[in-house]
Amino acid sequence: MAKANFITIFSLNVVWHLRKRKMIAVIIKFKVKPNQEKVFVENWKQLTKFIYEYENSLGSRLHKEDDLNFIAYAQWPDKETLHNTDSKLPEEALEIRKRMRDACEKVEKLYELELTEDLLK
């Protein structure tokens, strides 16, 4: 019984903490140069792993709109964490970012959104 109560209290604290911090989602559109899709995706994956590890993001998903257009959805615990990016990334990550951007014709941040309700499982 005590274990169940601890889990309940812990879960409620996590939910309260996340709501208080106002999680942020960033939506970015990438228009990739022809024949650069594989280069873009591979470098996006590597860079995303670095950002997750060094910049405390909550991760990202990459979606394909069509052959040359991709949409990324990245989550951050709060605006402060999001806006303090790049300061902790190693040099290797910056080189990967350059390769990813070089594979694109255009990179555009579409939205920066504050979470109000979360019903994802």
| Domains, the chain, ordered by start | 22-114 (3.30.70.100)
Cα distances from 103 to residues 37, 41, 42, 119, in angstroms, run: 8, 9, 11, 35
pLDDT tens digit sequence for 78-112: 999 998 876 789 999 999 999 999 999 999 999 99
Round to whole Å and give the CA distance between 32 and 36: 6
Positions of the chain with pLDDT lower than 50, given as ranges? 13
pTM score > 0.75 for this model? yes
User: What does the pLDDT read at residue 94?
Assistant: 94
Tokens at 12, concatenated: 């409620």
User: What does the pLDDT read at residue 88?
Assistant: 83
Cα atoms in the 13 Å half-sphere on the side-chain side of 2:
0
Helical H segments across 22-118, by residue range: 37-55, 79-83, 91-102
User: What does the pLDDT read at residue 120?
Assistant: 79
